[in-house]
Structure 1
């Protein structure tokens, strides 16, 4: 008899736990855990918000008020997987799009499709240079990541110290230099870089002397 009472009480407890409200709470907690510990899931949510019009790049703000522009670009070097180097100071006369990212970073994964679309619009224009810096310097891993997703973004690793005013460690970080080597855009965090306003912004920088 004691066993039956115990089983009955246990059944009642289970029924109370499985009410609609509790199931909803458990599903909510499960969703939070997935977003916290599954980078691709968090990236998918951010990407969906981008498609809804969120995370548009703020190209109208005065960047010079936020980021000093007196930087020795000749001291900033990057290298690709083949060991070929590129120096920011040698890119005067070009519009430079510089992006710091990592394969494990959900906001980086979220913005990458928009970056790839924007890159494809400008990649054949000699006025632009694109540098995608793997923060982990694991170019083989990042190349596999790109290949799997059919991206063809030029990958580099940092081959010198990077001034904190350009990259402070936050991922992703995107910096755009004008043809005079001045910082024209600086953003830490994901953004939709295929946004029409950003495309227009890049075109205006190209047309500036």
Structure 2
């Protein structure tokens, strides 16, 4: 009886797909692979970040923020402590007076990995003494894991990790989640899930809140 010759053509497609994903998972590359696919989705423009043109009862975003913060209120995230990638303690409350772009992410999260390049591009365009970026990692692997990830990617925006109880104002059902906070400490925009932030709309919205 003649033996059948082995051929890759005889292997079911689903078996090959499972094998590829198994290898990616075991090597830790699945996050990057999925992130790359989701990055292509962002490039189509169908997941642009949603920021308000105006807030209720106002003629412009800048006026809306001014009106919504006319009455002094407790800053969102007041009392929250963080550490930067050098282990230096930072008070979130110390950023009051700046426009804050807060992104909650993790190295194991494909949508987070997918959107980070466009956030970095936004950071390089609008970062100033008046606009603070807080890339807040919720990884449990410690500072070294996050530091290696950031260095490998070449990101230069400020990255932090929680050093105290997480503020209830920043709770979310999804990761990544992004908040934009006014100089007075009020949350004026929130985006759950990945999005493209490197748009003129987001740039204009951030700069419109800067105190003149």
TM class by shorter-chain length?
A: 0.7 to 0.9
For residues 195 and 33 of structure 1, what CA distance do their matches in structure 2 show?
36
Query: Does the aligned pair in 1 maintain the 2:47–2:194 contact within 8 Å?
Result: yes
Which consecutive residues of structure 1, in runs of 5 or more, have no partner in the other structure? Answer: none
Equivalent residue in structure 1 for 2:42, among 50, 58, 66: 50
Matched with 1:135 is: 138
Q: Runs ≥4 in structure 1, deviation > 3 angstroms?
A: 25-37, 61-64, 69-73
Secondary structure of residue in 2 paired with 1:74: coil
C-alpha RMSD of the superposition: 3.2
Residue 62 of structure 1: how far off its partner (Å): 8.2
Q: How do 1:106-185 and structure 2 match up within 5 A? A: 106-123=110-127, 125-136=128-139, 138-168=142-172, 170-185=174-189
The 1:180/1:101 distance shift into structure 2, 3 A limit, reads same
Report the alpha carbon displacement of residue 26 of structure 1 after superposing the two structures with TM: 5.8
Computing the radius of gyration over CA atoms, which structure comes out larger, 1 or 2?
1
CA distance in 2, matches of 1:63, 1:186: 13
Q: 1:139 Cα shift?
A: 1.8
User: Cα distance, 1:38 vs. partner?
Assistant: 1.2
Give runs of aligned pairs for residues 1-209 of structure 1, distance below 5 A.
4=1, 18=10, 23=13, 38-60=30-52, 73-123=77-127, 125-136=128-139, 138-168=142-172, 170-206=174-210
The 3 A distance-change label for structure 1 pair 195 and 29 is: farther
Report deviation, 1:61. 8.0
Q: Which runs of 5+ in 2 are unaligned?
A: 57-72
How many correspondences in the alignment? 190
